[in-house]
Amino acid sequence: MCLTDAPPSGPVSSGSHPVQDQSASSPYQNVNDFISNVNRFKIIESTLREGEQFANAFFDTETKIRMQALDEFGVDYIELTSPVSSPQSYEDCKTICSLGLKTKVLTHVRCNMEDAKKAVECGVDGVDLVIGTSSFLQKYSHGKSIEMIQKTALEVIEYVKSQGVEVRFSSEDSFRSDLVDLLTLYKAVDKAGVNRVGVADTVGGATPRMVYDLIRTLRGVVSCDIETHFHDDTGCAVANAHSALEAGATHIDTSVLGIGERNGITPLGALMARMVVTAPEYVTKKYNLKALKEVEELVASAVNINIPFNNPITGFCAFTHKAGIHAKAILANPSTYEIIDPALFGLTRYISINSRITGWNAIRSRCEQLGIKMTDDEVKEVTAKIKQMADIRPLAIDDTDSILHSYHIELQKKRELQEQQA
Ligand SMILES: N[C@@H](CCCC[NH3+])C(=O)O
Ligand SMILES: [Zn+2]
């Protein structure tokens, strides 16, 4: 299928999803036990921090300010690059803090006193402390023992809290850290009064099962909130986020289009797609889903990439139905082949009408859209002509429409002739 086959120029079908029917019979009922937070999660949007670590990213101040679109979208937090990174990062952090956003502004810094002081100086609502805890990072990155990490963490946490600012303590590479070390550390910082502990799959190697186990265990050890952060190296970032919520995590880190270090983290849009199916009421009330496309386009253009064709929700063919069997059912009831109603995101579905696998029901619907009146037999005949052409070369919508129009003109001529003869 070629790009010209995509909305908005193509035919669309406007049926909506009969929501009650769907939930009554859906096998996708979520497991809503006492520990699951799928119905009340929060988003820490890290496009302006993790996203700045994306290979193509360069966010000037103006672009960062435009990202207040995320505030309108309804994310709970925006996370910014450490003000210690560069003089401009420091200035930008102060600028974003002074915008008076509804969303809370965080900055992500190394777990040491100097970084924490700079962060507080900028006027952030919260300081996100991070330090590596895997033996790899202990040995090859900062060289600190778990005891040293804990000692510093407690001092820094105390300082940030004394400034009346929210504080999170996160390990890095949590899934390759020693479980006893990890739980000991989290327990200590929880006791010291952190608002959240953070678990990070820094290398993207965790599976949903591993995530469930670790978060479920941690949920029994700390009473503060649990933030989670998943890299997508093995394609599990969205599934892992969902699993984390089921196990009792409270916050998910995202970035728009998933941009971040290497191939990035849980994408905001993909997470919305997942969660609008799991928790439709919560997600549709809390987030301004119709703003998603604009936010993604803003980021895509800022970092000079296209929105991937298979992006959930906004990929060009995310709501395109092609095979005749699919098109027929979609026209009768969109829930047959759609788990998400595109209208929730302000989008429309599209039914492909120009291939060898196009069926006559799709053509009939196209005729209705074009105001062309034909009998079912005539529609079937012209469908056969379209298939014949599509067997020879790829067709554009205009080609199919031309076949329909010329077939219709021929029909009219025939009819007139018959009338004259009668
Ligand atoms: N980018 C870091 C951040 C960890 C903090 C999570 N909120 C990582 O993947 O380890
Ligand atoms: Zn990360």
Q: What is the CATH number of the domain that holds 205?
A: 3.20.20.70
207-228 per-position pLDDT tens digit? 999 999 999 999 999 999 999 9
> Per-residue confidence at 18, pLDDT binned at 50, 70, 90?
low
CA–CA distances in Å: residue 286 to residues 22, 40, 268, 282 = 21, 10, 14, 6
pLDDT for residue 22 is more than 60: no
6 within a domain of the structure (yes/no): no
Which ligand approaches the C-alpha of residue 264 most closely? 2
Mean pLDDT of 308-326: 96
pLDDT of residue 9: 43
Residues 224-283 have pLDDT tens digits of 999 999 999 999 999 999 999 999 999 999 999 999 999 999 999 999 999 999 999 999
What local confidence, expressed as pLDDT, does residue 401 receive?
A: 96
13 found inside a domain: no
Domain boundary among 241, 275, 302: 302
Q: Is there a single domain that holds both residue 130 and residue 254?
A: yes
Q: Which of 42, 167, 229 to mutate to test the pocket of ligand 1 (most atoms within 8 A of CB)?
A: 229
Work out how many domains the chain is built from and give that number: 2
Q: How confident is the model at residue 101 (pLDDT cuts 50, 70, 90)?
A: very high
> Residue 405: which domain range?
320-421
On whether both 276 and 373 belong to a single domain, the answer is no
Helices 268-278, 292-302: inter-axial angle, 10-degree rounding: 160
Q: Comparing 303 with 6, which gets the higher pLDDT?
A: 303
* Closest ligand, as measured to the CA of 170: 1
Q: Is residue 9 assigned to a domain?
A: no
Do 76 and 184 lie in one domain? The reply is yes
Q: What is the distance between the alpha carbons of residues 91 and 57, in angstroms, rounded to a whole number?
A: 18
Could you give the CA distance from residue 368 to residue 220 in angstroms, rounded to a whole number? Answer: 60
Task: Assess whether 229 carries a catalytic annotation.
Answer: no
Best probe residue, ligand 1, of 133, 172, 194 (max atoms within 8 Å of C-beta): 172
Choose the catalytic residue: 229, 326, 405, 408.
326
- What pLDDT, on the 0 to 100 scale, is given for residue 135? 83
What digits encode the pLDDT tens for the residues 160-197? 999 999 999 999 999 999 999 999 999 999 999 999 99
Q: Does position 5 have pLDDT exceeding 60, yes or no?
A: no
Q: Average pLDDT of the chain?
A: 94
ipTM value for the complex: 0.96
Instruction: Count CB-CB contacts under 10 A for residue 235.
Output: 10
Clarify whether residues 52 and 154 are in a common domain.
yes
Establish whether residue 198 lines the binding site of ligand 1, counting it when its CB lies within 6 angstroms of any ligand atom.
Answer: yes
